[in-house]
Amino acid sequence: MLRALTRKKFLLSAGGAVSAAAAGGAAIGGLGAMASARTAPSRGQDLRVLGFLLGVERIELAFYERAVRAGALRGELAEFAAAALIHERDHVAALEAALGSAPAAPAPLFEVGDALTDHDAFVAKAIALEDAGVAALNGQITNLTPERLGTGCAIVSVDARHAAWIRDIGGMAPADGATDAPLAAADVRALLQRQGFLA
Amino acid sequence: MTRPRLDLAAIDRDGAVREAADATSTRAALLGGALAAIGALALPSVAAAAPAPRDRSVLTYALSLEYLQDAFYTEAERLGALQGKVADAARVLGQTERAHVKAFRALLGSSAPARPRFDFHGTTEDELAFLHTAVALEDLCVGAYAGQATRIRSPEILQAAVDIHSVEARHAAWLRRLLDVRPTEGSLDEPRGRRSVIGTIAARGFVVDASDAPTTHRRASPLFTG
């Protein structure tokens, strides 16, 4: 808890970093520009936050679409990827609906090595992606108005289930700690870039 | 010190129990259970300076759910009937829920309600019963946190609740795998209103006493009164 509250302070103070990243472009690899600073939730901020989360969910969707299309996963991993694909498609649709008019989906550009075909590589990438999705959502839900944050809550717990599921398959602790650390938008973007999900 | 018990009118001053999301055909049946469960939750005797009343109401409710989970896993670990991966999960989940209890007690300060006494009717000493109950509890808590998120006013408290919410979802998925069922039920987890959650717990008869008896007042083994 204390860690969580400390993190919140960090996020509040990290507004400048978010702003700097947002200034880099309206859409970086599908991740829309974020709020320039942590301010009280508003309709305008909702649109920026939902746009950012839509970008994250579109990356998740694209990853599973490509993995399923590649057709190399077997057994439980094939089951996981097929289920996650359906869920992420619905998450994208839910965020697009919450946004009203969603920006056109840029094709996520990413270089994930052999993660679409190799079991171990797929597990590692999926864990990184799902954990990043949970952290991104936890970092933004508090920036949404009550009318919109329900959408984030309904999505994040399913992504957390995915994360636990694939971590368990990969032999990692499904839940790592008493709280899930939220990540600021700029940190999410950097993490996804490091993992090859963003150019 | 004995704290006064809650009645529905007292806890529903902020309309918590009248949440629209609670509309259900079993409303009347749930209400009876809710009254019993709410009656078993201690009323904060002194209003804390902070958090604000509505947030305190949510925190008190969240703490009661965490008390329940804490007691469930802690008892399962203490009784030692679980083995292997299930025992490992119970140990880790117990640690986590105890941390959640500590966090909410700290946020509530002197207005934190006392820990109730629970009776898990043998579900902590049988692997299959343990897993079924644990999955039900975790899924319930995922919905409960989502159901409260829109009500929280303090950004700090909301962040804390959100950071815990996704961990409960991880727990649910983990336990579901141990039970060999799908970790996810669908694409979106539905929020659950307070009345529905409390009614579900009351139906299991897990909360047996909310007196300020010392928390060490535990039976050596669960009662089988159900």
ipTM value: 0.84
Return d(Cα B90, Cα B88) in angstroms, integer: 5
Q: Assign residue A29 a region (left: φ > 0; alpha: ψ between -120 and 50; beta: otherwise).
A: left
Local confidence band at B27 (pLDDT 50, 70, 90 cut-offs): very low
Q: Which of B43, B71, B89, B151 is nearest to A146 (CA)?
A: B151
* Under 8 Å between Cβ of B196 and B28: no
Question: Sorting pLDDT into bands at 50, 70 and 90, what band is B214?
Answer: very low
Q: How open is the CA angle B52-B34-B143, to the nearest 5 degrees?
A: 65
Alpha carbons B172 and B67: distance in angstroms, whole number: 17
- For the stretch A23-37, pLDDT in tens is 223 333 445 545 444
| Chain B residues contacting A via beta carbons under 8 Å | 92, 95-96, 99-100, 102-104, 106-107, 142, 145-146, 149-151, 155-156, 158-160, 162-174, 177, 182-184, 186-191
What digits encode the pLDDT tens for the residues A108-151? 778 999 999 999 999 999 999 999 999 999 999 999 999 999 99
The structural domains of chain A, with segments of one domain joined by +, span 2-20+41-97+108-194
Report the residue of A80, A147, A153, A166 to disrupt the B interface, i.e. the one with the largest count of B CBs within 10 Å.
A153
Residue written as tokens 């409390």? B198
Q: Torsions phi, psi of B66, nearest 5?
A: -70, -35
Q: What's the distance, Cα to Cα, between the start and end of chain B in Å? A: 30
Instruction: Give the confidence band of B211 by pLDDT, cuts at 50, 70, 90.
Output: low
The answer to pTM > 0.90 is no
Give the Cβ contact number of residue B31 at 10 Å.
17
Question: Which CATH number, 1.20.1250, 1.10.287, 1.20.1260, 1.10.760, labels domain A2-20+41-97+108-194?
Answer: 1.20.1260
Rounded to whole angstroms, how far apart are CA atoms B123 and B102? Answer: 24
Q: Which residue has the tokens 């550009």?
A: A109
3-state secondary structure (DSSP) of residue A77: helix
A175 Rama class: left (phi>0) / alpha (psi -120 to 50) / beta: beta
Tell me how far apart the alpha carbons of residues A143 and A147 are, in angstroms, rounded to a whole number.
11
Residue of A111, A115, A68 whose CA lies nearest to A87: A68
Please name every residue paired with B207 in a beta bridge, in sequence order, or none if there are none. B118
pLDDT at B43 over 80: no
Q: How many CB pairs under 8 A join A and B?
A: 153
Distance in angstroms (rounded) separating the CA atoms of residues A174 and A60: 19
Given pLDDT bands bounded at 50, 70 and 90, which one contains residue B181? very high
Binary contact (B183, A165; C-beta < 8 A): yes
- Cβ contact (<8 Å) for A174 and B191? no
Tokens describing residue A16 = 């400048």
* CA distances, B80 to each of B72, B77, B88, B123 (Å): 13, 5, 11, 12
Put simply, the answer to whether A158 touches B184 (Cβ < 8 Å) is yes
Cα–Cα distance measured from residue B124 to residue A196, given in angstroms and rounded to the nearest whole number: 44
Q: Closest by alpha carbon to A131, among A169, A182, A92, A86?
A: A182
At residue B189's C-alpha, the angle toward residues B183 and B190, to 5°, is 140
Residue-wise burial string across A4-15, b where 16 or more C-beta atoms lie within 10 A, e elsewhere: bbebbeebeebb
**Per-residue pLDDT tens digits for A167-178:** 999 999 999 899
Paired residues of B42 in beta bridges: B5
Indicate if the pLDDT at residue B9 is higher than 60: no
Cβ-based contacts of B161 with chain A (< 8 Å): none
Strands A31-32 and A27-28: antiparallel
In whole angstroms, how far apart are CA B46 and each of B13, B42, B49, B102, B116? 16, 12, 9, 19, 18
Is the pLDDT score of B46 beyond 50? no
Question: Is A81:A73 a contact under the CB 8 Å cutoff?
Answer: yes
Q: A113: which residues sit within 8 A by CB, 6+ positions away?
A: A121, A196
Confidence at residue A34, expressed as pLDDT on a 0 to 100 scale:
53
Element (H, E) at B208: strand B207-209
Question: Apex CA A148: angle with CA A144 and CA A151, to 5°?
Answer: 110
H-helix or E-strand containing B64? Answer: helix B53-79
